[in-house]
Amino acid sequence: MDNPDQLRDQLLAEIGDAADLDALERVRVEALGRSGRITGLMKALGQAAPEERRERGQALNALKDAVAAAIETRKAALEDAALDARLAVESVDVTLPVRPEAEGRIHPISQTIDEMVAIFCEMGFSVAEGPHIETDFNNFTALNIPPEHPARQEHDTFYLPEKEDGSRLVLRTHTSPVQIRTMIDMAPPIRIIVPGRTFRADYDATHSPMFHQIEGLVVDETTHMGHLKGCLIDFCAAFFGVDDLPTRFRPSFFPFTEPSAEMDIGCTREGGGLTIGAGADWLEILGCGMVHPKVLENCGIDPARYQGFAFGLGIERAAMLKYGIPDLRTFYESDLRWLKHYGFVPLDVPTVAGGL
């Protein structure tokens, strides 16, 4: 029968010699496995004489514990060594670019906002923002849309529950209330654009209950309709990338501008697709006008001294026209295949989408 002391010395030597985790496992099975040598000795204990059994049992238990502990210690040392070896050969170059397939895409709405902001900022505009939940005053009344005005019905407004004083907050139906906030807060000269979310209770292929607009406002002592036209013609030419983009201004009506106009850009639908900048057709692109004197007055600006122009356009519509996106609803479906197709690879420049 094996002598426990000899066996211990032999196993400890084998454990010390085990060069890797596989070799160590082989020693463990040889010693402590089901038909291992220590296991065999323990099984044989039953046949030993009763007076011998106790002493030998203790010796075998001590042997088993010593071998198990040595295996654990060796195992930890081998694992550390394996990790050190891996760390020595493997290194991560954090300066490598991200693999293209793992890179996200800029959503076409964010991209379009960035493009528009870049064009207007170059002209000297700053970006202003306002809350999505607005007062009835900022969204309607101050914009010369008093209660009972028919324009209120056209907006399909989402109202919040009535407050105790009977007033109701609204989800802003356009970005125009930010004109009011800006004119109340700051004195002219004012030159702002306001990209942001807007809300109306409407849903089909060209309407969504949440959509985006960009608003513009310029107020100064000498601002006139020529500035409005020059600014918007230059903007559309830059945005659509067509230098001599045909444009026209049609008389229109908005309660907050006088005179008011809608701007169209030239296009053709020949050949099935839509081509912007050529042909005999027209596409409506935005609403605009000279700020109504009553609106200036509502914000504490003297209309005898100051004049302004304003405009508003739908960002989804502009993106659909520029990038050939057929259905408005797809903007919000979060379909990654769609985003891969219509999205944009991020550029290494500060953008509104990237938080500047």
Name every residue whose Cβ is closer than 8 Å to that of residue 250 and which is 6 or more positions away in sequence. 261, 262, 263, 264
Q: Is 254 in the site for ligand DAH (CB under 6 A)?
A: yes
Enumerate residues 6+ apart whose C-beta is below 8 A from 353.
Answer: 106, 107, 110, 111, 113, 114
Identify the CA nearest to 174 among candidates 193, 153, 196: 196
Q: Of 286, 345, 281, which Cα lies nearest the Cα of 312?
A: 286
Nearest approach in angstroms of CB 280 to ligand DAH is: 26
Q: Which stretch binds ligand DAH (CB under 6 A): 58-66, 116-124, 282-290, 321-329?
A: 282-290
Q: For the beta carbon of residue 144, count every other beta carbon within 10 angstroms.
A: 20
**Segment near ligand DAH (CB under 6 A); pick from 42-50, 57-65, 307-315, 322-330:** 307-315
What is the contact mask toward ligand DAH in residues 207 to 226, using x (rule: CB under 6 A)? Answer: --------x-----------
Chain residue at closest Cβ approach to ligand DAH: 312
Sign of CA dihedral 31, 33, 35, 40: positive
200 in contact with ligand DAH (CB under 6 A): no
Of positions 112, 138, 182, 257, contacts ligand DAH by CB under 6 A: 257
Q: Select the residue interacting with ligand DAH from 107, 174, 181, 292 (CB under 6 A).
A: 174
Question: Which residue type sits at 86?
Answer: R
Closer CB to ligand DAH, 309 or 331, in the complex: 309
In the list 7, 115, 312, 316, the residue contacting ligand DAH (rule: CB under 6 A) is: 312
The answer to whether residue 176 forms part of the interface with ligand DAH (CB under 6 A) is yes
Helices then strands, counting H and E runs in the chain, come out as: 12, 10
Q: Which is nearer to ligand DAH, 67 or 223 (CB)?
A: 223
For position 288 contacting ligand DAH by CB under 6 A, the verdict is yes
Nearer to ligand DAH, 14 or 215 (CB): 215
Is residue 287 part of the contact set for ligand DAH (CB under 6 A)? yes
For residues 254 and 273, the answer to whether their CB atoms sit within 8 Å is: no
- Rounded distance between C-alpha atoms, residue 326 and residue 276, angstroms: 15
Q: Which stretches of the chain bind ligand DAH, using CB under 6 A?
A: 174, 176, 215, 254, 257, 287-289, 310-312
